[in-house]
Structures are given as structure tokens and as C-alpha cells.
């Protein structure tokens, strides 16, 4: 069986040993094995610091931005090949576009942002943040903040559900800041990420040492972190906790960003009764969030909060829509929902649903039965969309259990304060939404739930056509959330670039501060 290679110290490396099997999500066939055995992790990090960092910092901010734009164009030319591999992860063409085109869009966004917001000319190293402050009566002594690229490596550990978007949304801001990346994919979908990395390297655009790739386990990678390195992690809260408390991360105060799991909610306003456009928007969005990527989105709606007297109506309308969803082989154009990433992931979802069913009942679907078009329902990781209903809003499982698949639970609420309280039981979420035509209700809910959320969508008929939807993180907006969601922030425009830089307060005379360059935003 083919052992997948890694790319370290500017060379492809094929490991030895048995490796971990990687399966086709649709057929269940083993397609490759992943292993990082024999990789010199300390050497890889050293290479990033001593070769990649200097090579990137030799480029100006605008040259790095141009490089991102060229990379986006290069990858765009190879989308079909990536879509084909993506289908083997269970993704429909729509899902693949979400992942692949979405990732390319992030590259473009950061390319534009670099030209717009970062210093031009021959500036390579410094970004002046905010206005300078006079620290003396006569103005001869000023203070300000400058940001300079960290001199370490950006270790980027990704989850399996976005094998293209996730590595690209971490790579883009690191590269723009001038910090080399070491990418680790999640094993279940590493075949697709591996091909992405090959395409990036084949482009010849990246300077030496600026991108390394470790396929397979992380081994002792984190043991070799130093204080100028940073870690960007996406995955489960349990792994986030393990890595966050790693002795090197704690001992060297390594900058650590986590995007972890999240029991996101969507609130239907009491004004949005059946027959209103907002009612339909709510149901459409719920079904979309359940079925895109077979619900394997960290931002997907897990808790659907509905006024108590609308529970039956929402359940019936959503069930009718879900009944139209064709599940099956992603290559079949009639299929709306593909497979989960693998059989292990399906077993995990079934286990979570079993727990949820202790306090809820099924409104649509069955965890062990699904009609599948063009594939074998058992060999492939197929699962029916599962809509649950929990009539006890105080039950703990719906607020705690993240079934990472096409699963949502309807939960009743009685007032804006009540729904804000229920939202908080998720202990911190990535994304939430409120669907209402009533601005006063929207305000009450948004202000009540905002401290528990990284991003909130208020959906009404005015914005429905243009809305990007509940589950789509956007490069200009923060992606992350407090508490259980990891307590991190990714993207959010320039914030993600600055995350890879050290902010330093510098004091001195106007002449000395001017010599530092990196013009302040208001002077650009």
C-alpha cells in the first residue's frame, strides 16, 4: 500500500513502517497509508526558522501578497483534480467548492488585504499599529506600537473536515506576516491535503523553507517548540486541551490558537410564524446546515431554538425538506448529501446520537438506516440526516454533545432571556444565528448571546439574497469562539496577520520613531 510522503527541509520524504490506513469514504476501500515515522521534527522546525523565515522576510509585504495572489491563480487552475480527490472524502461537488474554492478565496482576500493594509515600498519587517502618542509636553518624546514577524515557525494542525480550506486559511496570514509554515493535516483526509501541498510546491512560487508538511502523527514535534514558534490548532476540544497543556507550549509561552468544537445554535424569532418569509428562511438554513458537508462543519447548527408553540410546525417543515435530500455517491449529480469522512467518524456520530436520544426523540431519519444512491450504504460512511426534538430545554445532552454529522436538535424556548440562557449552556460557540423580522428581538438576542459567540448572523428578508449563511466563516471576519470553541481567533482580516507578529511598544523622539518605518494605518 502506498505510504504518503511528507515534505521536510525542502525534500520529499517517504516514511517506513506500516502507517495508518486512509480510506475512501464512499467505497470503504483503503487507498493509502499515512506515517511520519523517521521524520526529524526538530530539524524541520530548525529549517523553518533558519531557512524559511529569512527567505520570507527578504520579501516585502507586497511581494508576499503578490505571491498569495499567484498561488490562488495556480490552484484555481487545478480545481478539477482537487474536486475529484475531494469526492473520495465523501464530499459532493457543492461541498468541495465550499472547501476548495473557499480556500482559494481566502488566499485572494489576504493578497488584497496585504496590498491595501500593509506597508508598501521596500518595507519587509515592520507594521506600525495605531496612532503614536505624545509622552511629553513639548512633543519630543513619543510612544507607539510596532509589529514585527516572529522568528519561529507556525505549526498548523488541521481537522479532517476541511482538508483544503483549513490549511490555506492558516497559511495565508502566516506567509503574509513573513513566518514559515509547517502544516499537519488530519489523517482521514490527508490524501487531498497532500495533493494540495504538491500543487503549491510544484508552482515554484514559495521561497525555500517557507512551507513544510508532515503527514501522519505529530510525533515529538511539539517537544521542540521554542518561544518564537506558534501553534494554530483546529480539531476537537479534547485534543486542544492536550496540546494547550503540552509542557513546551506552557514552558515557552508558545502562542497557541485553538479552533475547537462547538454546539452552535440558531434562534427562530416569535414573529416568524409559518407563512412568513423568515420561517422559511429558518427552515431552509437549518436543512442546509445539516446537509452541507454531511453536517461535518464546526459551525453547523446543532441546537435549533424555536418558540415553544412553533416546535411542531418547524419539525414538520424541516422533515418535509429533509425527505427531499438524496444521500449517496458524491459523483452522482442528483445527490445532495455525500458520506461522512469515514466509518470511524460515522460510529462516533451514532454514539453521540445515542446519548442525545436519552433526552430527545427523532423527528426525521434513523441512525442505522439510510437509502443511498449509487453506493453501498454500509461500506461507505453514509448516514441519514437526523433531526431530533428535545422538549426539555434544561436537559444537558443537547447543549453538551456535538454529533459531528448531519444532526440537529429542536429545543423550545419561552423568551429572549430564556434563549440567551440556553445558548450559554453551549459554553462558548463559533457561530450563531437569529432569524427574525423584528429588530428589537434581534437586538435582545444578539446582545444576550454575543459574549458566548465568535460570530453571529442576523437573518431577515432584507439580507437573505446576499447572505453568506450561518455556517460560512469569512476571511474578513473573526472565526473562533470563547470557551469550548477554543477561545481563539482566526482570520478577521489583518488581525490574523498580526497574530504572527510581536507587538512592541517603542518610545523615542519623533526622528527615531520615523526611522523605524512601517507607516501607521492613517498615513497610508
Question: Which residues does the annotation mark as catalytic?
Answer: 259, 298
CA distance 97 to 356: 31
Neighbours of 335 (CB within 10 A): 21
* CB nearer to ligand NAP: pick between 60 and 232: 232
Residues that bind ligand NAP (CB under 6 A): 157-161, 184, 186-187, 217-218, 234-236, 239, 242-243, 259-262, 298, 402, 404, 430, 486
Q: Which of 265, 268, 261 is nearest to 296 (CA)?
A: 261
- Cβ pair 486, 480 in contact under 8 A: yes
Radius of gyration of the chain (CA): 24
- Cβ pair 428, 324 in contact under 8 A: no
* CB nearer to ligand NAP: pick between 127 and 160: 160
Q: Which of 301, 318, 297, 310 is nearest to 364 (CA)?
A: 318
CA distance 269 to 310: 10
| 460 Cβ contact partners less than 8 Å away, ≥ 6 residues apart | 278, 281, 435, 436, 437, 442
* CB nearer to ligand NAP: pick between 468 and 509: 468
Distances (CA, A) of 235 to 21, 187, 411: 20, 12, 26
Cα distance between the two ends of the chain: 55
What is the number of H-type helices and E-type strands within the chain?
A: 17, 23
Amino acid at each position: 500500500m502506498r505510504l504518503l510522503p511528507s515534505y521536510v527541509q525542502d525534500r520529499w520524504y517517504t516514511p517506513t513502517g506500516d502507517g495508518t490506513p486512509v480510506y475512501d469514504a464512499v467505497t470503504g476501500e483503503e487507498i493509502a497509508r499515512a506515517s511520519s515515522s523517521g521524520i526529524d521534527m526538530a530539524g524541520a522546525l530548525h529549517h523553518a526558522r533558519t531557512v524559511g523565515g529569512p527567505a520570507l522576510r527578504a520579501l516585502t509585504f507586497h511581494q508576499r501578497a503578490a505571491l498569495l495572489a499567484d498561488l490562488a491563480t495556480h490552484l484555481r487552475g487545478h480545481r478539477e483534480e482537487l474536486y475529484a480527490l475531494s469526492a473520495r472524502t465523501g464530499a459532493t461537488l457543492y461541498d468541495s467548492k465550499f472547501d476548495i474554492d473557499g480556500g482559494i478565496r481566502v488566499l485572494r482576500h489576504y493578497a488584497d488585504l496585504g496590498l491595501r493594509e500593509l506597508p508598501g515600498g521596500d518595507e519587509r519587517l515592520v507594521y506600525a499599529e495605531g496612532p503614536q502618542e505624545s509622552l511629553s509636553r513639548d512633543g519630543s518624546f513619543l510612544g507607539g506600537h510596532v509589529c514585527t514577524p516572529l522568528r519561529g515557525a507556525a505549526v498548523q494542525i488541521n481537522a479532517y473536515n476541511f482538508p483544503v480550506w483549513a490549511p490555506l486559511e492558516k497559511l495565508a496570514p502566516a506567509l503574509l506576516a513573513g513566518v514559515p509554515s509547517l502544516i499537519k493535516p488530519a489523517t482521514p483526509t490527508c490524501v487531498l491535503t497532500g495533493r494540495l501541498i504538491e500543487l503549491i510546491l510544484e508552482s515554484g512560487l514559495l521561497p525555500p523553507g517557507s512551507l513544510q508538511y508532515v503527514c501522519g502523527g505529530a510525533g515529538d514535534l511539539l517537544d521542540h517548540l521554542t518561544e518564537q514558534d506558534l501553534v494554530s490548532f483546529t480539531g476537537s476540544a479534547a485534543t486542544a486541551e492536550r496540546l494547550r497543556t503540552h509542557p513546551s507550549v506552557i514552558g515557552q509561552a508558545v502562542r497557541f490558537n485553538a479552533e475547537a468544537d462547538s454546539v452552535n445554535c440558531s434562534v427562530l424569532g416569535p414573529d416568524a410564524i409559518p407563512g412568513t418569509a423568515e420561517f422559511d428562511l429558518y427552515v431552509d438554513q437549518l436543512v442546509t446546515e445539516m446537509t452541507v458537508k454531511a453536517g461535518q462543519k464546526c459551525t453547523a447548527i446543532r441546537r435549533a431554538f424555536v418558540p415553544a408553540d412553533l416546535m411542531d410546525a418547524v419539525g414538520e417543515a424541516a422533515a418535509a425538506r429533509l425527505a427531499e435530500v438524496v444521500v449517496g455517491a458524491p459523483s452522482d449529480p442528483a445527490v445532495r448529501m455525500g458520506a461522512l469522512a469515514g466509518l470511524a467518524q460515522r460510529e462516533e456520530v451514532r454514539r453521540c446520537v445515542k446519548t442525545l436520544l436519552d433526552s430527545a426523540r427523532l423527528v426525521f431519519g434513523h441512525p442505522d438506516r439510510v437509502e443511498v444512491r449509487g453506493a453501498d450504504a454500509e461500506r461507505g460512511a453514509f448516514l441519514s440526516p437526523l433531526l431530533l426534538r428535545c422538549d426539555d430545554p434544561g436537559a444537558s445532552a443537547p447543549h453538551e454533545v456535538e454529533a459531528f454529522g448531519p444532526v440537529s436538535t429542536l429545543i423550545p424556548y419561552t423568551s429572549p432571556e430564556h434563549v440567551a440562557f440556553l445558548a450559554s449552556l453551549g459554553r462558548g460557540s463559533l457561530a450563531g444565528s437569529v432569524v427574525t423580522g423584528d429588530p428589537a428581538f434581534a437586538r435582545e438576542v444578539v446582545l444576550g448571546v454575543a459574549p458566548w459567540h465568535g460570530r453571529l448572523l442576523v437573518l431577515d428578508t432584507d439580507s437573505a439574497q446576499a447572505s453568506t449563511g450561518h455556517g460560512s466563516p469569512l476571511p474578513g471576519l473573526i472565526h473562533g469562539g470563547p470557551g469550548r470553541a477554543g477561545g481563539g481567533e482566526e482570520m478577521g482580516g489583518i488581525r490574523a496577520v498580526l497574530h504572527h507578529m510581536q507587538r512592541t511598544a517603542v518610545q523615542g523622539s519623533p526622528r527615531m520613531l520615523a526611522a523605524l518605518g512601517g507607516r501607521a494605518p492613517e498615513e497610508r
